[in-house]
Amino acid sequence: MNEQLKHLLDVLPGYLLNYSLNVVGALITLIVGYLVAGWLARLIDRTMARSHKIDPVFRYIPGKIIRIAILIFTLVAVLNRFGVETTSLIAVLGAAGLAIGLALQGTLSNVAAGVMILFFRPFKIADVVQLDGQTYIIDAVGFFICRGHLPDGPAVFIPNSKIWGQTIVNLSVTDNDIRRIDENYGIAYSDDIGAALAILRQIAADEPRILDTPEPLIKVDKLGESSVNILFRVWTKRVDWWDTKIDLVQRCKEALEAGGCSLPFPQRDVHHFHEAAVVRKTGAIEG
């Protein structure tokens, strides 16, 4: 018993010294790792913030990833210093991550779609986009959802996977920043087609918001059931498109009527023929 106690007393100082050194080393590793992770994350954030080509939502992601990676590496190093088998721990964490990923695959698909949206940038904040036939104004772009509102005001929250999985029409971005207006005006078959074309061409020439290039196209487009349809196709700057479009509808109608043209509406003439039927005794009907 005395020999065991003596051996324990001989070994204990070295064991305590070694353990104390491990504790101090672990604390120093944790502190240094924490400080390095924070410093490097801030450095990356400042570097990303200097670039105006990177979306504001995307600027802080690399810094957060680097910070988390350094902290995990630091924790593994500390555990390894105390003799913990980190290989099995990493395997357990990997299996847990896989299980969580399978359970949250719907959410992760939104994250993946959000990354693609932020990387390819099919639209930006305040853009007007058309998704599945519905028009939205984008207010914010996130990793899980995009927040926006309808043109008449109600707020809309759209999952990113629903956006990235379909055709996106960005109405705020057009080729050469111009947009076309297509309208059809019908005149009666008895009206003077040449006069109607001259009136519409004069309206296009007098409207300063209508561009000369591409050249306006104003010609007879179709012979309808109750009217001769004239195609009124002109181009404007994108920002002038909506105001010009609604102004031209009233102006063209009033000008055509003032020039002696009538704007017919669909109508049908119904002729009813009544024939007296004489019922014979035999049951035959004779008209």
Domains in the chain, ordered, with CATH? 2-103 (1.10.287.1260), 122-170 (2.30.30.60), 176-258 (3.30.70.100)
How confident is the model at residue 169, as a pLDDT? 94
Q: Work out the angle between the directed axes of helices 105-120 and 86-103 (0-180°, nearest 10).
A: 90
Mean pLDDT score of the chain: 81
pLDDT less than 50: residues of the chain? 277-279, 281, 285-287
Neighbouring C-beta atoms of residue 183, cutoff 10 Å: 15
Residue 97 three-state SS: helix
Residue in 169, 181, 174 with CA at minimum distance from that of residue 238? 174
Q: Work out the angle between the directed axes of helices 241-258 and 193-206 (0-180°, nearest 10).
A: 140
Burial of residue 147 (CB within 10 Å: 0-12, 13-18, 19+) is middle
Q: How far apart are CA 44 and CA 205, in angstroms?
A: 55
Q: Work out the angle between the directed axes of helices 61-81 and 2-49 (0-180°, nearest 10).
A: 170
Q: How far apart are CA 180 and CA 256, in angstroms?
A: 22
For the question of whether the overall pTM of this predicted structure is more than 0.85, the answer is no
How confident is the model at residue 274, as a pLDDT? 64
How confident is the model at residue 84, as a pLDDT? 64
CA end-to-end distance (rounded Å), the chain: 137
Geometric angle at alpha carbon 79, from 100 and 60, rounded to 5°: 55
How confident is the model at residue 45, as a pLDDT? 81
Q: State the amino acid at position 56 in one-letter form.
A: P
How confident is the model at residue 201, as a pLDDT? 95
Tokens found for residue 193: 């087609």
Radius of gyration of the chain (CA): 38
Q: How far apart are CA 51 and CA 58, in angstroms?
A: 11
- Rounded to the nearest angstrom, the gap between the alpha carbon of residue 272 and the centroid of all alpha carbons in its chain is 57
| DSSP secondary structure of 189-211 | TTS-HHHHHHHHHHHHHH-TTB-
How confident is the model at residue 207, as a pLDDT? 95
How confident is the model at residue 21, as a pLDDT? 67
How confident is the model at residue 286, as a pLDDT? 46
Q: How far apart are CA 210 and CA 235, in angstroms?
A: 6
Residue in 244, 181, 247 with CA at minimum distance from that of residue 218? 181
**Residues facing 247 on adjacent strands:** none
Omega of the bond leading into 122 within 30 degrees of 0 (cis): no
